[in-house]
A and B are shown apart, each in its own frame.
Chain A
Amino acid sequence: MSATPVLALRGVSKRFGAVQALTDVELEVHAGEVVALVGDNGAGKSTLVKTIAGVHPIDEGAIEWEGRRVSIGKPQDAQNLGIATVYQDLALCDNIDVVGNLFLGRELKRFGVLDEVEMERRARELLKTLSIRIPSVRIPIASLSGGQRQTVAIARSMLGEPKLVILDEPTAALGVEQTAQVLDLVERLRERGHAVILISHNMADVKAVADKVAVLRLGRNNGVFEVRTTSQEEIISAITGATDNAVTRRAARTSGEVEK
């Protein structure tokens, strides 16, 4: 792991009218590291991701990319730096096949004509390196399961060889098996030296793949934890802002019932 983080946010703030969505947020992501971004609904996770992805420019603070200060004003700026974002609702076209979707908007051409052969070869190669298994690269996306679609969407973000991949709740709508596939893929991204920011509500997923957990609460940092040395309860209390919260109360109640 290199000393300089791939991406560092320093005192980032963002306002929407009367709402202070982010206040003095700090975040560091290194190459080959998975940072989980957690927080309750409205904590500012999505806003933070959108500032990094260039959808909402920041109001105050600084964004550092590989130690250099940069400004990200629009989505293209982020893409040019090497930031790829996979949004929660999938950005795939159902009627186009897997190859077509992977290369949508950046088709390979040969004499001005789509180079289907080369695209298919590269698609197979990419899916192979990521160990993604799908029935065929020539079937429409509509034929794939939710998990397979999510892996295709993530694979699509890998085509530009990004340094940082942002995954917005990649397992939210997935079953057990599909969730495992996506988590495997996240680990493979880390092995290949990509930095990953993973937004998730699912503590099991976070514990499974993340190296660090950054907690946001009401638009502010509420602690960064090493996953290996932190218990789930500690993270939850950081998310909810108290050790006495709905989750612990429920845990105490149900364990009490078991004892009876």
Chain B
Amino acid sequence: MSTDNKTSTAKQDVPAVENPEAAAAAVTAVDPRLLVREQGLAGYVGEFKRKMKAGELGSIPVVIGLIVICVVFQSLNSAFLSAQNINDITVTMVGTGMISVGIVFVLLLGEIDLSVGSVSGAASAIAAVLAVNQGWPEWLAVLAAVAAGAVIGAAHGFFFAVLGAPAFAVTLAGLLFWLGFMLQTLGENGTINLDSDGFIGQLTTYFFSDIAAAYGLAALVTAVFFLTSFLGNRRREAVGVPSRPLSDTVLRTALLAVVSFAAAFMYNQYKGLPLATVIFLVFLVGTDFLLRRTSYGRKVFALGGSVEASRRAGINVTAIRISVFAISGGFAAIGGLFLASKIASANQSAGTGDLLMNAIAAAVIGGTSLFGGRGRTWNALLGVLVIVSIQYGLQLESIAEPVKYMITAGVLLTTVVIDSVTRKTQKTAGRA
């Protein structure tokens, strides 16, 4: 701004001096109401304050919540932040977390999928029957189960998108139907034990015990993040559109490096890097890329914003809706396999209880809006981390199941209230 101002005063002498702001605006043709971001540290602080006021909280409440959880439980029992406990938490959370990733997709449309719990149970039953009873190779049984989950989801999507039935009601029917299907499939015994050294069993029991694995992954993640940010900014500069200052990129990379190397160090204190965590991270990166960097993802967001506008823009609304429910079903199946792996069996209680509620709660607690069009799949990771941490913390304190339910309910209610309130603030700040 200031340099433009100088040049304008140099060229046209009289009015610019008297009204430097107007002169600068006239030269740069930038809307004078635009909030110009200051450079450097002051810029960060200013931007942060403005976002807080406007209700753009993003993941901040959940990160603060996680810190509070850690402090409280650690002060109650020093075993909470032990390497073993954190390791257990991050492995256990993968099952629910995977289901929650699918829920994020559905929530982005502003819809809900109540069938994911039952579908995850049905998928574990399908995999167990094919692998144990039918003698299929386990990897093939896993593929078949995930495919079945996607087809089931697509069927729900068909009733919703083509026949126009409310997604809430369709998936509620799905919840009952696939629960019955699972019980039918498991047969009289009700439990099929899986080989704990097989492919499914290893999903949650395999660890990369070499310490180089965890550190290597942390280094790789940091390097890839820095390179893509750096090259992206270089390209933006070359084309002449606003880019982030280098200090910004460095700061973000440093933050990521601290988190990932701390995690790697912690994993190496116990058994090493868990395979389940690696798979979860791969899926999170993949789905985040799909949602934010491809035209498919753009269409999902567009549908969450305005169905009519999407239709006029030539988006095939029906196809996108069906595909999103198929993704939700697919991730429910993947989650179901991780949950079956944890107990090395497919049994009648799979996919029941509080699983469905935890999966939805995780997505919402992580910051995905229930109103559609806002959210990221990383929200699923943060949310499920909160829920499972609370469960483990309460377990360490030997607090009974009923109290656990009530506390999780309190956390969920708090998050939904935060979502609604920030949405109101965003409306008054003109950003919703």
- Residues of A in contact with B (beta carbons under 8 Å apart): 87, 89-96, 100, 104-107, 109, 112-114, 117-118, 120-121, 124, 128, 131, 133-136, 139-140, 142-144
- Residues of B in contact with A (beta carbons under 8 Å apart): 29-31, 33-35, 232, 235-236, 239-241, 293-295, 298, 301-302, 304-306, 308-310, 312-315, 372-374, 426, 430-432
The 5 closest A-B pairs by CB, nearest first: A93-B305, A105-B313, A95-B373, A95-B305, A105-B314
Q: How far is the CA of A95 from the CA of B157 in the complex (A)?
A: 23
CB distance from B341 to the nearest CB of A (A): 33
Q: How far is the CA of A128 from the CA of B28 in the complex (A)?
A: 11
Other A-B pairs beyond A133-B31, A142-B432, 19, CB < 8 Å:
A87-B312, A93-B301, A93-B305, A93-B306, A93-B309, A95-B305, A96-B373, A100-B302, A104-B315, A106-B314, A109-B295, A113-B294, A114-B294, A117-B239, A117-B241, A118-B239, A133-B30, A142-B430, A143-B430
Residue of B nearest to A89 (CB): B308
Residues on A with C-beta less than 8 A from B35 are 135
Q: How far is the CA of A142 from the CA of B432 in the complex (A)?
A: 6
A118-B239, A134-B31 are contacts. A96–B312 as well, Cβ < 8 Å?
no
CB distance from B86 to the nearest CB of A (A): 35
Q: How far is the CA of A89 from the CA of B431 in the complex (A)?
A: 20
The one of A92, A113, A139 in contact with B309, judged by C-beta atoms closer than 8 angstroms, is: A92
Q: Quick check: B236 and A117 within 8 Å, CB to CB?
A: yes
Q: Quick check: B30 and A93 within 8 Å, CB to CB?
A: no
Q: How far is the CA of A101 from the CA of B34 in the complex (A)?
A: 20
Q: How far is the CA of A93 from the CA of B311 in the complex (A)?
A: 11
Residues on B with C-beta less than 8 A from A136 are 34
Q: How far is the CA of A113 from the CA of B315 in the complex (A)?
A: 17
A93-B309, A114-B294 are contacts. A104–B302 as well, Cβ < 8 Å?
yes
**How many pairs of residues, A versus B, come closer than 8 Å at their CB atoms?**
90
Residue of A nearest to B243 (CB): A117
Residues on B with C-beta less than 8 A from A117 are 232, 235-236, 239, 241
Q: Quick check: A140 and B431 within 8 Å, CB to CB?
A: yes
CB distance from A9 to the nearest CB of B (A): 23
Residue of A nearest to B240 (CB): A121
Residues on B with C-beta less than 8 A from A112 are 294
Q: Quick check: A114 and B430 within 8 Å, CB to CB?
A: no
CB distance from A99 to the nearest CB of B (A): 10
The one of B239, B305, B372 in contact with A96, judged by C-beta atoms closer than 8 angstroms, is: B305
Q: How far is the CA of A92 from the CA of B426 in the complex (A)?
A: 18
CB distance from A253 to the nearest CB of B (A): 43
Residues on B with C-beta less than 8 A from A107 are 295, 298
Residue of A nearest to B108 (CB): A95
Residues on B with C-beta less than 8 A from A121 are 239-241
Residues on A with C-beta less than 8 A from B293 are 113-114
Q: How far is the CA of A142 from the CA of B304 in the complex (A)?
A: 14
CB distance from B94 to the nearest CB of A (A): 27
Q: How far is the CA of A131 from the CA of B33 in the complex (A)?
A: 16
Q: How far is the CA of A133 from the CA of B374 in the complex (A)?
A: 26
Q: Quick check: A92 and B306 within 8 Å, CB to CB?
A: yes
Residues on A with C-beta less than 8 A from B301 are 93, 95-96, 100
Residues on A with C-beta less than 8 A from B304 are 95
Residue among A93, A96, A121 facing the most chain B CB atoms (10 A cut-off): A93
